[in-house]
Amino acid sequence: MEILSGEEEKKALEYISKAAEAARLASCERSKCGSVIVKASEIIGSGFNSPPRNSESQRRCSCKKDSYHKKVTDKTCCVHAEQRAIMDALAKNPDKLAGSTLYFVRLDANGKPSRAGDPYCTICSKMALDAGIAEFALWREEGVCVYDTEEYNTLSFHFESGHA
C-alpha cells in the first residue's frame, strides 16, 4: 500500500469526490457507495450501488444478513458500486481497463464521504483482478491509500470483522 501526498493526493481526492457524486445516485437503503475507474487522468467508468437494473422486485435491503444461508456470501441485494463501474468501463472503454485505478467511497448518513476501513470485498477485488485493474484507492484515516489490486484481494480474504 502507498499513502499518497502532494499533487498525487490532491488529484486522487478529486477522483474520490467524483466517486462521491456517483454514490449520490445509489438507491441502496443500507449504504450509499460510489466508484470511478481512471486511466491516464480520464474517468473510464463509474458506478453506484443499487439493486440490479434498479429492479425494485430484487430489493432486499430490509432482510437481516443473518437470515441467509451460509453459502450466500454476498448478503446485499445490490450490485456493488465497484462492479457497476467495471461493467460501465467494459461497455464504454474496454481497451483502457488494463492498468487503471479504481477509486471507491461510501457516504455517511449525512451524504458526506466517509473514510474507509480495511479492504474486505472479495467479490469486487476478484472482479477487478479479472478486468485488469491495477490499483484500488481508498480514502482512509491516514490519507488516500493505493493498493495493488493483488494486495487488495489478499487483504480482503484476510479481513476480520470488527476491523473496518
pLDDT tens digits along 83-130: 999 999 999 999 999 999 999 999 999 999 999 999 988 999 999 999
Collapsed DSSP state (helix, strand, coil) of residue 125? helix
Residue 73 falls within a domain, yes or no? yes
Model confidence at 4, in pLDDT bands (50, 70, 90)?
very high
Determine phi and psi for 39, rounding to 5 degrees: -140, 125
Q: Is residue 89 part of a domain?
A: yes
The reported pTM is 0.87
Question: Would residue 138 count as lying in a domain?
Answer: yes
- Considering its fold, how many domains does the chain have in total? 1
Write down the residue that cell numbers 488494463 correspond to.
98
Domain hosting 27: range is: 2-157
Whether residue 163 is contained in a domain is answered as: no
| Tally of CB atoms within 10 A around 110 | 6
In a domain, 128, yes or no: yes
In a domain, 47, yes or no: yes
Residue 142 lies in a domain: yes
